[in-house]
Structures are given as structure tokens and as C-alpha cells.
Amino acid sequence: MVLRKLLVPGLAAAMLAFAPATPALAQQDTMDLYNGPAAGSQDWSEPLVVHCEDGREVRYNTTQPRLRVFLPEPDKADGAAIVMLPGGGLRQLSIGIDMHDTIAMLNEEGVAVIVLEYRTLQLSPEQVAKATAPRPPSSAPVEFPKMEIRNANANPSPNDPAMNEVLRLAVADGQAALRLVRSKAGEWHIDPDRVGMFGTSAGGGVAFGTMMAGADGAMPDFIVSNFGPALQDIAVPQDAPPLFLITEAWHGPVTDGLLALFRMWNDQRKPAELHIYDVPNFTMTPDLWGGRLIDWMYERGLIEGRISAVQDGYDKEPS
């Protein structure tokens, strides 16, 4: 576990001033996840709404899931791939600058990234208007109430039938996405045995739900969770994938849920790494955790193209 303090503003600004520019993203393709209407949502009637502001795209009422494909340059392609699951509380899908930076970082290391727009709760026009209305700036950091965590389940609405149904459909989308990505292994230069999931917020819950479904051909080879806890009871699978867990110190049930997941994996001697940052909620960026994630992927053999500087250091005899 790693606990790290927020950089003082002056030092943070200096580091950003000397940071290299983020490589431009090159989206190769967008495709529907299913041939024809997605089973279970074919009768949903609320229209898709896409709200764009300050470099962030928020999608409401996703009924027909699709994939956005970001492949690395052919000479950099390593074979590793990630199905990326945006957050949004299962009510929306939020795709912002941090996600674009993460995709660019992974592409630079030869990792293919496929963003899954999974199904979300149906919202009325009035609910969407309320969600997209300008909000006054808040001077206080976001705080979350405590809740009892059992079996690593951090679902704030465990008895809500509509939310449980949309989680079930989102998990089905996660399974279908893993199968489709693996089916494209030859075309996209992907190793089907190195296909993981990266979930942010509720996207983490979809990733863990996909793991728990345990369907043939639809098991993630690893899971990265960016403040995304499980939204259902978890039991450690026999073939449990390695976990890389990131969260803030005061993110309430999210932090507690990820702590519980780490302990479960650790108790069973399954590979897991947990990073808890002492920063205000929703302020983590890839600049904070990205370097360690890349090194972890090299150390676990999830990226094979070269040995990272950290791993290279492990292999040397002490002087």
C-alpha cells in the first residue's frame, strides 16, 4: 500500500512545466458491440444524449453499446490490450481529459486500448437536464458517508432493482467486449492472453462483475481499478487476475471497498497492488499513478516489449 501527499502547488506547477506533451490520440475505429439491438435494452425509448463541456464528453441513455478502438503505432504494438470502462455511477459515461491522457500513455507503451460504452440507466429528459445544469463551484472537498462493506461489496444501492438490472447488462457488455477484442487478436496485433480491463468509478464495478461472471473467453487477464470498487459480493476466483487498485484516502465506501478487495487477494496470496493517495477526492490524474502502473505491467509480464527501468533494477546484482 502506498500513501502519498499532494505536491505543494509551486512544485506541482514546476513539474508540469517540464512534463513532456501528451502524444496525440489516434482513434482507428468505432464499432457497435452487437450485431443488431442489444438484448435486454431493445425496448428502451429514452434517446441518447451527449453533453460536451471543458474537454469532457458525458453520454446519457446508452442503449446500444459500442467500442472506440485506440491502437498503438504498429512498430510499438506489444500485444497487450485493455478494455477501458468509463465511470458515471451507471447513470452516465464520462470520458474526459484524464481518460484521453491514460489512453495516450498506454498506447505509447504499445498497449491497445478499447473504450467500451456500456449500457447505463435510462434517464428522462428532466433528469438529464438536471444532471447537465451548471453547478456552483464548491469550496469544500467532496466527502462521502461511511457504509458497511461486506465481501468487498461497496454498492450504495444494493436493493435497487433498476440499478441491479443495468449492472447486469453492463457486465454482459463487458463479457462481449472481451470476446470481441480477443477475436480481433490477429487484426489488431493483440495477444489474447494479455487482455485486461481498466475501470474508473462504476466502471471498476463492471470490471469486477465481469470477473465474477467467469464466463468462458470473457475473463479479464488483469484488472486496473481507478477508484472503482466492486458493486456486488466478491469471492476470490481460483484463477484470480492480478489487481492494480488506485483510490483517494477519503473516498468513503470506495476506499473501504478497495481495501477489502486488496485484503481478500492478499489473504489468498493472489497478486494485488493498492495505492491510496492523500489528495482531495476526484483530483487523481495519470501524472500521479501512471508511471507506477506501467512499471507494474512490465513487472507482471503484461507488457513484454521491453524491460522497464524499475524491473531492470530488480534484475541486477547488488553492487
- Reading the chain (319 residues) residue by residue, the pLDDT tens digits are 444 333 333 333 333 332 334 445 666 799 999 999 999 999 999 999 999 988 899 999 999 999 999 999 999 999 999 999 999 999 999 999 999 999 999 999 999 999 999 999 999 999 999 999 887 776 666 678 889 999 999 999 999 999 999 999 999 999 999 999 999 999 999 999 999 999 999 999 999 999 999 989 999 999 999 999 999 999 999 999 999 999 999 999 999 999 999 999 999 999 999 999 999 888 899 999 999 999 999 999 999 965 444 444 444 444 4
Residue 11 lies in a domain: no
Distance, CA of 121 to CA of 36 (rounded, Å): 20
pLDDT computed for residue 283 by the predictor: 86
CB 203 within 8 A of CB 87: yes
Point out which residues pair with 224 in neighbouring strands. Answer: 198, 244
Residue 78 lies in a domain: yes
Residue 13 lies in a domain: no
How would DSSP label each residue in the chain? -EEEEPPPHHHHHHHHHHSPPPPPP-EEEEEESSSSSPTT-TT--SPPEEEEETTEEEEE---S-EEEEEPPPTTT--S-EEEEE-BSTTT-EEE-HHHHHHHHHHHHTT-EEEEEE-------HHHHHHHHS--PPPSSPP-------BTTB--S-TT-HHHHHHHHHHHHHHHHHHHHHHHTHHHHT--TTSEEEEEETHHHHHHHHHHHH--TT---S-EEEES--BSS-----TTPPPEEEEEETT-THHHHHHHHHHHHHHHTT--EEEEEEES-TT---HHHHHHHHHHHHHHTTS--SS--HHHHHHHSPP-
Residue 79 lies in a domain: yes
pLDDT computed for residue 13 by the predictor: 33
Residue 121 lies in a domain: yes
pLDDT computed for residue 71 by the predictor: 96
pLDDT computed for residue 219 by the predictor: 97
Distance, CA of 25 to CA of 201 (rounded, Å): 23
CB 295 within 8 A of CB 308: yes
- What is the pTM assigned to this prediction? 0.87
> 33: domain CATH number?
3.40.50.1820
pLDDT computed for residue 22 by the predictor: 42
Tally of domains in the chain: 1
Q: Rounded to the nearest 10 degrees, what angle do helices 161-183 and 202-213 cross at? A: 70
Domain span including residue 54: 2-6+20-131+142-315
pLDDT computed for residue 225 by the predictor: 98
- What nine digits make up the cell of 232? 456486488
Residue 65 lies in a domain: yes
Residue 15 lies in a domain: no
Residue 273 lies in a domain: yes
Residue 120, C-beta contacts closer than 8 angstroms, at least 6 positions apart? 59, 60, 61, 62, 88, 90, 91, 92, 93, 166, 170
